[in-house]
Structure 1
Amino acid sequence: MTMTRNLCDSGSVSPPPATAGTRPAPRLSPLVLLSLGALAWRFGFGVYRAIYNNFLVEVHGIRPEQLGLIESIREVPGLLVVFLVALVAGLAPSLVTGAACLLLAAGLLLYPFAGGFGHLVAITLLFSTGFHMLFPPQNSLVLHHAGEGKKGQWLGRIEGVGSAAALGAMAMTALLVSRLGFRGLFFLGAAVALGGAVAFFLTPGPDRLMVRSRGLGLRREYFSYYVMTLVQGARRHFFLVFALYNLVEVHEVPTATVATLLTVSGVALVATRPLLGRLADRFGETRVLAWCFGLVAAVFTGYAFVRDVRLIYLLFFLDSVLTFELVIVLYAYRIARGEGVAAALAGGSTVGHITGVIVPFVGGLIWKFAGPSATFLFGTAVCLFGLFHAVRVGRRQALEAPARPSPSSPA
């Protein structure tokens, strides 16, 4: 994203100097404000993640096909985020980020008042629009304020702050759900997220959010990467939608236990993500992807046939920590060096959200007419396809490697 100059640099009148005997009001730095904003909205999202499925089942009795439709609609803003951001490109990124955070907070606030399926769809669409609109302007503000050589460091710091806030929210939910109930927790998440919106509104920055429109950025030479992203997107939504629904609807796992499982697996992810990256560096991305797709296929098969809830907890934990988007990003970097990486990743994001719209809807219908085992076996088949694709691409790379010069070789 291209940034214009800050309003303070574009001829605006400077405030008068402080008179003798007075102190200027202390101001938080922009990066501190952005950190507070990220902490607040990720806390609200953590509360949502911990209670959402139990809320749908226990309060509204949502059926699987209804859940699939809600989740498909939830992913539509993610599919259209490029166009949504383009619509607000003339506004200040701090304004866009604050408004997106307000939408997210409004969704959390309204969930307890939902009167039925139609209300849930509308509120989820509102919440999801805010969620998906947050990332582009928030990241552009971080990049704008971070000094040269520290941009990646600050992106990582703020992501770390947000992840810690989400984990804290889920742990808190496990402790307080019996006292506050769904309504109280939604209100708490909304109040904290509202504080994040205030922090974003107070963050200075450019007067316009500039976006380079290049369409969807799909290219034929990145086809193998798009296929992997497509399969990973499908696998992700089998987990987010149906693995959680399986815990709540089929095995009647209470909210506190779900929140505890999410917290424990989230902490474990801190270790497994770097581990997968190191394995990819050592053995190659396609080999690690084949292992991951194979393991997830086994987990989904377990969901289909295991009835012991303790084993279901173990499967859910394994499913949670097998988050390997990082390995797919590394593969994209391998095949699309230089400026092509951004185009490949942008196209991959679009492709991933396509499965986000399709998989929940189709999986919900399969659950309704054939049962949960059929839904998870469908997921197994998708992951096995991913495994065979990764093996095929790896073999092709091995055949092409001797004839292809390394990036460090002289031209």
Structure 2
Amino acid sequence: MKILRLSDAGAYPIWRRPITFLILGAIGMPIAFNTWSALLNNFVIEVANFDGSDIGWLHTVREIPGFLAIGVIAILMFMREQVLGVVSLFVLGIATALTSYFPSMAGILTLTMLSSIGFHYYETVNQSLQLQWIKKEKAPQTLGWLMAVGSGATLIAYVLIVLTWERYDLSYRFVYWMGGGATALIAVYMYFFIPQFEAEHPQRKELVLRKRYWLYYLLQFMAGARRQIFVVFAGFMMVERFGFEVHEITQLYLINLIFTIVAAPLMGRVVAVFGERRALLFEYFGLVCVFLAYGGVYYFGWGVLVAAGLYILDHIFFALALALKTYFQKIADPGDIAPTAAVAFTINHIAAVFLPAGLGYLWLVSPQAVFILAASMAATSFLLALLIPRHPSRGNETIFSQKVAAPAE
């Protein structure tokens, strides 16, 4: 297949340009992943009789491919990033479609592993292509719009689940097939109808670890550890403690998406105007408050409305996480983006390999302690974000870098 220069993209119709590739990926990935997520807690509790420990182990298995995302670097030696992204998206779709065929612990873990390989390898490549293909001055706003597009696609899927799940007595098998199949079809379109484009700066095909990226690495590690607690236990709490049914938990996700569609472009604008440092400080402070309040739901017996409101707030703050991407885009050597995206995904998932299973046991004893731990992680991220300079760039990666010359490495 002919490889085109990114500068030639304007000669092609909009439906064959790089931005269309990013938009379709922003639509396809969340359709499969969020369909899987919307049904997951009810599916494993009702069909496989999971408890808190079992769900912890499931998410530990789900995060192993994220920990091994560094393997993307080896694959890129013989496969282009754009092709790897499409193949990974297709694997995610097919694995999601087959989820309900194996309603046992071993079967669910196996399909979870396959879908996770597709998800994490796609996300690694997607983040790399975003930062290579989108100009720095437009990155915050464009990333915000891509996030809103993905939320819009998921919104449609959730509306369909809410409106049809009870009315037509849908099965888990049917819904998983619809969500996963749609993603697989989108991947097929991306492969056959969008040309392959070469970014302006060739990407290194070897492992890249640079001392001057140390703050970015630490922020990625803390983000991964903190995210696990929310992903694994916030939704599980709504089902286990408050007895949410499939359509009810999906309605909560639906409200989340509406807020995200509105908030994500605004958050992109906030990052562009106020900078990465202030945006991340605001996000982390808000998350400290949210996680402490989650603990209060259990300790003080606050009701379901408080818990649902916190769940929505958590997602709004998450929209500011795009500031971490643009921070790295500003400090990175242009050729480092692809290998560092793989390294960052691995760092992001170090805690993910052991935290869900370990905290699953803690959850059985003290659910509020799990959320207090998450609040302490958010507080640590806040302290680290204080080290980001107001105007990050190469040679000015942290507040300490201002005192020394730009590093050669």
Q: Which of residues 112, 127, 130 in structure 2 aligns to 1:124?
A: 112
In structure 1, what is the equivalent of residue 348 of structure 2?
A: 352
Assess, with a 3 A threshold, how the Cα gap between structure 1 residues 235 and 95 changes in structure 2: closer, same or farther: closer
Per-residue CA deviation, residues 236-279 of structure 1 (Å, 9 max, x unaligned), is 22111111111111221222222122222222223433444454
Give the Å deviation of 1:102.
Answer: 3.6
Kindly indicate whether the alpha-carbon contact (under 8 Å) linking 2:152 and 2:261 is maintained by their aligned counterparts in 1: no
Give 1:213's aligned amino acid: K
Assess, with a 3 A threshold, how the Cα gap between structure 1 residues 83 and 166 changes in structure 2: closer, same or farther: same
Give the Å deviation of 1:283.
Answer: 5.0
Q: How many residues align?
A: 380
In structure 2, what is the equivalent of residue 316 of structure 1?
A: 311
Q: Which of residues 170, 188, 193 in structure 1 aligns to 2:178?
A: 188
Per-residue CA deviation, residues 129-178 of structure 1 (Å, 9 max, x unaligned), is 1222334667899999x9999x9799887766544222211222222222
Kindly indicate whether the alpha-carbon contact (under 8 Å) linking 1:46 and 1:165 is maintained by their aligned counterparts in 2: no
Assess, with a 3 A threshold, how the Cα gap between structure 1 residues 354 and 393 changes in structure 2: closer, same or farther: same
Identity across aligned pairs (percent)? 25
In structure 1, what is the equivalent of residue 66 of structure 2?
A: 78
Q: Which of residues 325, 331, 339 in structure 1 aligns to 2:334?
A: 339
Assess, with a 3 A threshold, how the Cα gap between structure 1 residues 270 and 405 changes in structure 2: closer, same or farther: farther
Assess, with a 3 A threshold, how the Cα gap between structure 1 residues 400 and 392 changes in structure 2: closer, same or farther: closer
- Kindly indicate whether residue 204 of structure 2 is the aligned counterpart of residue 212 of structure 1: yes
Looking at structure 2, the residues matched to 383 and 274 of structure 1 have their Cα atoms a distance apart, in angstroms, of: 23
In structure 2, what is the equivalent of residue 231 of structure 1?
A: 222
Kindly indicate whether the alpha-carbon contact (under 8 Å) linking 2:277 and 2:385 is maintained by their aligned counterparts in 1: yes
Kindly indicate whether the alpha-carbon contact (under 8 Å) linking 1:75 and 1:357 is maintained by their aligned counterparts in 2: yes
User: Which stretch has the larger CA shift, 107-116 or 240-249?
Assistant: 107-116
Looking at structure 1, the residues matched to 112 and 79 of structure 2 have their Cα atoms a distance apart, in angstroms, of: 25
Give 2:368's aligned amino acid: S
Assess, with a 3 A threshold, how the Cα gap between structure 1 residues 244 and 346 changes in structure 2: closer, same or farther: same
- Kindly indicate whether residue 207 of structure 2 is the aligned counterpart of residue 243 of structure 1: no
Q: Which of residues 250, 260, 263 in structure 2 aligns to 1:259?
A: 250
Looking at structure 2, the residues matched to 399 and 30 of structure 1 have their Cα atoms a distance apart, in angstroms, of: 42
Please give the TM-score of this superposition, normalised by the length of structure 1: 0.76
In structure 2, what is the equivalent of residue 386 of structure 1?
A: 381
Assess, with a 3 A threshold, how the Cα gap between structure 1 residues 351 and 164 changes in structure 2: closer, same or farther: same
Looking at structure 2, the residues matched to 280 and 208 of structure 1 have their Cα atoms a distance apart, in angstroms, of: 28
Kindly indicate whether the alpha-carbon contact (under 8 Å) linking 1:329 and 1:345 is maintained by their aligned counterparts in 2: no
Please give the TM-score of this superposition, normalised by the length of structure 2: 0.77
Looking at structure 2, the residues matched to 131 and 60 of structure 1 have their Cα atoms a distance apart, in angstroms, of: 23
Give the Å deviation of 1:213.
Answer: 2.1
In structure 2, what is the equivalent of residue 63 of structure 1?
A: 51
Assess, with a 3 A threshold, how the Cα gap between structure 1 residues 220 and 140 changes in structure 2: closer, same or farther: closer
Give the Å deviation of 1:123.
Answer: 0.6
Looking at structure 1, the residues matched to 387 and 3 of structure 2 have their Cα atoms a distance apart, in angstroms, of: 50
Give the Å deviation of 1:318.
Answer: 0.8
In structure 2, what is the equivalent of residue 372 of structure 1?
A: 367
Give the Å deviation of 1:301.
Answer: 1.6
Looking at structure 1, the residues matched to 327 and 191 of structure 2 have their Cα atoms a distance apart, in angstroms, of: 37
SS at match of 2:78: coil
Q: Which of residues 359, 364, 373 in structure 2 aligns to 1:363?
A: 359
- Kindly indicate whether residue 290 of structure 2 is the aligned counterpart of residue 299 of structure 1: yes
* Structure 1 unaligned spans of 5+: 8-26, 407-411
User: Which stretch has the larger CA shift, 282-291 or 393-402?
Assistant: 393-402
Looking at structure 2, the residues matched to 155 and 311 of structure 1 have their Cα atoms a distance apart, in angstroms, of: 30
Larger radius of gyration: 1
In structure 2, what is the equivalent of residue 175 of structure 1?
A: 163
Assess, with a 3 A threshold, how the Cα gap between structure 1 residues 39 and 403 changes in structure 2: closer, same or farther: closer
- Output the aligned Cα RMSD: 4.2
Looking at structure 2, the residues matched to 53 and 281 of structure 1 have their Cα atoms a distance apart, in angstroms, of: 37
Kindly indicate whether the alpha-carbon contact (under 8 Å) linking 2:203 and 2:335 is maintained by their aligned counterparts in 1: no
Looking at structure 2, the residues matched to 377 and 143 of structure 1 have their Cα atoms a distance apart, in angstroms, of: 34
Give 1:68's aligned amino acid: G
Kindly indicate whether the alpha-carbon contact (under 8 Å) linking 2:69 and 2:345 is maintained by their aligned counterparts in 1: no
Kindly indicate whether the alpha-carbon contact (under 8 Å) linking 2:143 and 2:268 is maintained by their aligned counterparts in 1: no
Give 1:111's aligned amino acid: T
Looking at structure 2, the residues matched to 43 and 115 of structure 1 have their Cα atoms a distance apart, in angstroms, of: 21
SS at match of 1:195: helix
